[in-house]
A and B are shown apart, each in its own frame.
Chain A
Amino acid sequence: MTAKKNKDSKDNEQAILEVIEQYPREEASLIMILQEVQDRLNWLPPEAMEMVAKELNLSLAKVRGVATFYKAFSLKPRGEKLIKVCLGTACHVRGASMLVEELERELKVKAGEGVTEDGKFSVETVNCVGACAMAPAVVVGENYYANVTPGNLSGMLKKERAS
């Protein structure tokens, strides 16, 4: 188990270094580096932020400051699939907040916090995915679901669980 853990963290380190290599080592690259690190690891573990700080010669406080300021970054592990419920105005007036509550209940996980027991899903709310004509919209990975209602959410989950 420890051996595996060590291997994982070695892999992570390698991945982080690869990302950093692609950018000039300056503050202006920070957000883009963090984004790509997150794309690879699915979240931003503390060690990743420490490494980025060291490599860019920035204080950890600065890196964490940026990582906590922007919504795109997750400082907690996320599920295999991220369910984004759009809470844009168009989705709101067509009942999106009901979807968040239903998902939280159904999956027993709070939006923006934690992962389902099987590690499959995390739920997040987003301010607007720009798919207003499909309101209310839910995005899972690259799949957009249009006109979602509390009643047809379970169908969506079934489909996503299977794939």
Chain B
Amino acid sequence: MSLKLQKFASLDAFCDFANRIAKTSDGKSREIRVCCGPGCLARGSKQIHEELVKEIDSHSAELKKAGLELNVTLSEKCTGCHGLCEAGPVVTIEPEETFYVHVKPENAKEIVEKTLIGGEEIKKLLYKLDDSKGGECAHKYSDIPFYALQHRIALRNVGVVDPLDFDDWISHGGMQGFLKSLAMKPEEVIDEVDRSGLRGRGGAGFPTGRKWKSALKAKEKAGTDRVWIICNGDEGDPGAFMDRAIMEGDPYSVIEGMMIGAYALGATEGYIYVRHEYPLAVRHLEKAIETLTTAGLLGEDILGTGMNFTLKISRGGGAFVCGESSALMRSLEGKVGEPRAKYVRSVEKGLHDEPTVLNNVESFTCVPMILSKGADHFASLGSSTSKGTKAFSLVGKVKNTGLIEVPMGRTLQEIIFDIGGGIQNDRPFKAVQTGGPSGGCLPAKKLDLPVDFDSLSKAGAMMGSGGMIVMDDHTCMVDVAKYFIKFLIGESCGKCVPCREGLRQVYDLLDKITRGEGEMGDLDKIDRLCHTMEVASLCALGKSAPYPVTSTIKYFRDEYEAHIVDKMCPAGVCKDLISYEINDNCTGCVVCARHCPVDAISGEKQKLHVIDEEKCISCGICMSVCKFDAVDIKSGGIIVSRTEPVAIS
């Protein structure tokens, strides 16, 4: 279906091509899209695609007949993440917007026969709307609240285009932003980005246009032609996968954003720094670079305009601190990724001590849209100080886990309850963690907070790169704080003392508390340590490291006190403070006894089983294998957890 790729020698030749294959909305092309995002892939979407191809092949005559009547052409493809990972594997059919969920390879036949040929919906594969809305099925994905409330700019093509198909991407408006910028002067391009109000999507929120302007100035000041463009794809925040989804699902748009930056700044070389854990993103970007180079859109004399720009991929080494700009640049130089103090800015002396612009994947991906639709369109979305939209990974104990994008300024309530569908198993909401290890946990009383850079910072959390982890009453906040500190101990580069040693001390104190050995004075000690780290650490990693601790102490002090004073973990998480017990629901099915690795469960068939507390190592296997909700967690003499926290699929 793809035209043979040629080198475009001139701008006109390329524009001709782009116009020729641009998608027209005459409803004549029909598309079946199989989500091949990580979640759906793991549940077998590749096999579904294969089966669909087979079925389409074997029904080609009927499909042709059906198509002739409607005068449509049909294509099938694998796309990036559709977002609603919870419902995966997902298959959509355009232009009807039919949205099939939990699809299995064996459904391929009926999808082709009934839906593609017969034009009827397969009810059992449709998404069921919430009972409160009558428990009906959604006939289109735009009927589903999860999608209806979103606005996609950065994710515009993710789940829509085939990430490996250049023609497909062009036909969906690819390169339009770059073409627009070529018709403008470089300074005008920077002004346009500046006017859009785009702020860095990696977390710090620095205005992108201003960064570009300073790089231009630094270049003049240094009297050099050289400026580097780097895309930060080292998405290290645990609980965040927006950039992964973009790099895997729409690699061409990331590169287009970088090309616009290169044109505006006169850069001739660039890097995409991709996280070690994202091999598929590396493959898709490599393929995209190769194709663009063949097409004459990367390399020398791009489209005959005289612009030169080459792009390389660098795989990260798996160090969280390399998400920090100066550490990332050291890593690109082949060195240990240690940050440096920020009195010299990287726009002036960055990679190889030359002027450097470093932007995040999502920021670059927004740039083509800012150019093609205009800065005003972007600026019309969002809140007064945070313009545009932001992608989030909505995960943890929320019903609709997945990838979303909303205009800035939506409240946490709207995101978690309207889009996210509320808490799994309808348990009470406890907290939402934003901003990764540098962010904080916000409690229920902050649900009305609008989500933008400034509101979140004010509340003691942070926008961060966009991970939003929802927690319910079975999440222990002390344990969460300890988790982040442990994470940061492993990731601190060790160069400065406050971060390296402060983290260890805080960890020891938190560990003591979760073991039930804490004293009230510990909280003050933690507070003082956090303050020192905040003011005296060298880079943002150390400076913001205390936030997960300070925010949980601020909003969940009673939970810390329960651990310290009552020696109990109200969430039933901290191992040293809990015990397992079997309740009357037990049918005596012996499954738990069979699975127990330390033979701590005794009991006869069809009789109530008993756990020997002396032998029990609190591994939780009995609870996860019990089908009758017969295992409870007790802490401080009270039952704190009755249901299995994880749904087994």
Q: Chain A's nearest CB lies how many Å from the CB of B242?
A: 9
Contact B483 A70 (CB under 8 A): no
Contact B41 A93 (CB under 8 A): no
Q: Which of A29, A71, A126 has the most CB of B within 10 A?
A: A71
Contact B621 A90 (CB under 8 A): no
Residue from A30, A90, A102, A134 in contact with B42 in the complex, judged by beta carbons closer than 8 Å = A134
Q: Chain B's nearest CB lies how many Å from the CB of A86?
A: 8
Q: How far is the CA of A97 from the CA of B318 in the complex (A)?
A: 20
Query: Interface 1/0s, chain A 48-79, versus B by CB < 8 A?
Result: 00000000000000000110011111000000
Query: Interface 1/0s, chain B 92-136, versus A by CB < 8 A?
Result: 000000000000000000000000000000000000000000000
Contact A66 B335 (CB under 8 A): yes
Residues A150 and B621 in contact in the complex (CB < 8 Å), given A28-B333, A134-B42, A135-B396: yes
**Which B residues are in CB contact (< 8 Å) with A90?**
238-239, 393, 395-396, 401, 467, 469
Contact B85 A133 (CB under 8 A): yes
Contact A147 B646 (CB under 8 A): yes
Contact A93 B471 (CB under 8 A): yes
**Which B residues are in CB contact (< 8 Å) with A135?**
395-396, 401
Q: Chain A's nearest CB lies how many Å from the CB of B30?
A: 28
**Which A residues are in CB contact (< 8 Å) with B647?**
147
Contact A31 B317 (CB under 8 A): yes
Residue from A30, A102, A106, A137 in contact with B334 in the complex, judged by beta carbons closer than 8 Å = A30
Residues A133 and B397 in contact in the complex (CB < 8 Å), given A70-B318, A89-B238, A144-B42: no
**Which A residues are in CB contact (< 8 Å) with B88?**
133
Residues A130 and B277 in contact in the complex (CB < 8 Å), given A32-B314, A69-B317, A70-B319: yes
Contact B401 A133 (CB under 8 A): yes
Residue of B nearest to A69 (CB): B336
Contact B236 A105 (CB under 8 A): no
Q: Chain B's nearest CB lies how many Å from the CB of A30?
A: 4
Q: Which of A89, A126, A127 has the most CB of B within 10 A?
A: A89
Residues A106 and B597 in contact in the complex (CB < 8 Å), given A131-B38, A147-B649: yes
Q: Chain B's nearest CB lies how many Å from the CB of A22?
A: 13
Residue from B38, B240, B318, B333 in contact with A72 in the complex, judged by beta carbons closer than 8 Å = B318
Query: Interface 1/0s, chain B 210-243, versus A by CB < 8 A?
Result: 0000000000000000000000000111111100
Query: Interface 1/0s, chain B 611-649, versus A by CB < 8 A?
Result: 000000001110011000000000000000000111111
Contact B648 A147 (CB under 8 A): yes
Q: How far is the CA of A30 from the CA of B333 in the complex (A)?
A: 8
Contact A132 B337 (CB under 8 A): no
Contact B335 A27 (CB under 8 A): yes
Residues A69 and B620 in contact in the complex (CB < 8 Å), given A133-B402, A146-B39, A146-B42: no
**Which A residues are in CB contact (< 8 Å) with B244?**
130
Residue B276 lies at the interface, judged by CB distance under 8 Å to chain A:
yes
Residues A31 and B331 in contact in the complex (CB < 8 Å), given A95-B620, A130-B244, A131-B39: yes
Contact B278 A95 (CB under 8 A): no
Q: How far is the CA of A27 from the CA of B333 in the complex (A)?
A: 7
Residues A132 and B624 in contact in the complex (CB < 8 Å), given A69-B337, A72-B276, A89-B483: no
Q: Chain B's nearest CB lies how many Å from the CB of A43?
A: 14
Chain B contacts with A in 357-415, Cβ cutoff 8 A: 393, 395-397, 401-403
Residue of A nearest to B595 (CB): A151
Q: How far is the CA of A95 from the CA of B397 in the complex (A)?
A: 11
Residue of B nearest to A137 (CB): B42
**Which A residues are in CB contact (< 8 Å) with B619?**
98, 101-102, 105, 150
**Which B residues are in CB contact (< 8 Å) with A31?**
314-315, 317, 331, 334
Q: How far is the CA of A94 from the CA of B483 in the complex (A)?
A: 13
Contact A98 B620 (CB under 8 A): yes
**Which A residues are in CB contact (< 8 Å) with B333?**
27-28
Query: Interface 1/0s, chain A 77-112, versus B by CB < 8 A?
Result: 000000000011111111100100110011000000
Contact A27 B624 (CB under 8 A): no
Q: Chain A's nearest CB lies how many Å from the CB of B245?
A: 8
Q: How far is the CA of A28 from the CA of B53 in the complex (A)?
A: 44
Residue B320 lies at the interface, judged by CB distance under 8 Å to chain A:
yes
Residue A149 lies at the interface, judged by CB distance under 8 Å to chain B:
yes
Residue B487 lies at the interface, judged by CB distance under 8 Å to chain A:
yes
Residue of B nearest to A154 (CB): B595
**Which A residues are in CB contact (< 8 Å) with B277?**
126, 128-130
Contact B336 A89 (CB under 8 A): no
Q: Chain B's nearest CB lies how many Å from the CB of A134?
A: 5
Q: Chain A's nearest CB lies how many Å from the CB of B473?
A: 12
**Which A residues are in CB contact (< 8 Å) with B85?**
133-134
Query: Interface 1/0s, chain A 118-161, versus B by CB < 8 A?
Result: 00000000111111111111000001111101111000000000
Query: Interface 1/0s, chain B 409-439, versus A by CB < 8 A?
Result: 0000000000000000000000001001000
Residue of B nearest to A73 (CB): B317
Residues A72 and B42 in contact in the complex (CB < 8 Å), given A95-B645, A132-B401: no
Q: How far is the CA of A134 from the CA of B396 in the complex (A)?
A: 10
Contact A93 B480 (CB under 8 A): yes
Residue B332 lies at the interface, judged by CB distance under 8 Å to chain A:
yes
Contact A32 B471 (CB under 8 A): no
Residue A26 lies at the interface, judged by CB distance under 8 Å to chain B:
yes
Contact A27 B646 (CB under 8 A): no
Residues A88 and B238 in contact in the complex (CB < 8 Å), given A134-B42, A144-B41, A144-B42: yes
**Which B residues are in CB contact (< 8 Å) with A143?**
42
Q: Chain B's nearest CB lies how many Å from the CB of A69?
A: 5
Residue A35 lies at the interface, judged by CB distance under 8 Å to chain B:
yes
Q: Chain A's nearest CB lies how many Å from the CB of B546?
A: 17
Q: How far is the CA of A142 from the CA of B475 in the complex (A)?
A: 30
Which residues of A pack against B, CB within 8 Å? 26-32, 35, 65-66, 69-73, 87-95, 98, 101-102, 105-106, 126-137, 143-147, 149-152
Provide 8 A-B residue pairs closer than 8 Å at the C-beta atoms, listed in order of the A residue: A72-B318, A89-B467, A90-B469, A98-B620, A127-B238, A133-B393, A147-B646, A152-B648
Which residues of B pack against A, CB within 8 Å? 38-39, 41-43, 85-86, 88, 235-241, 244, 275-278, 314-320, 331-337, 393, 395-397, 401-403, 433, 436, 467, 469, 471, 475, 480, 483-484, 487, 490-491, 493, 595, 597, 619-621, 624-625, 644-649
Given A70-B316, A89-B484, A133-B403: 12 more A-B contacts, CB < 8 Å: A32-B314, A87-B487, A89-B467, A90-B238, A90-B469, A93-B475, A95-B620, A95-B645, A98-B619, A128-B240, A132-B241, A133-B402
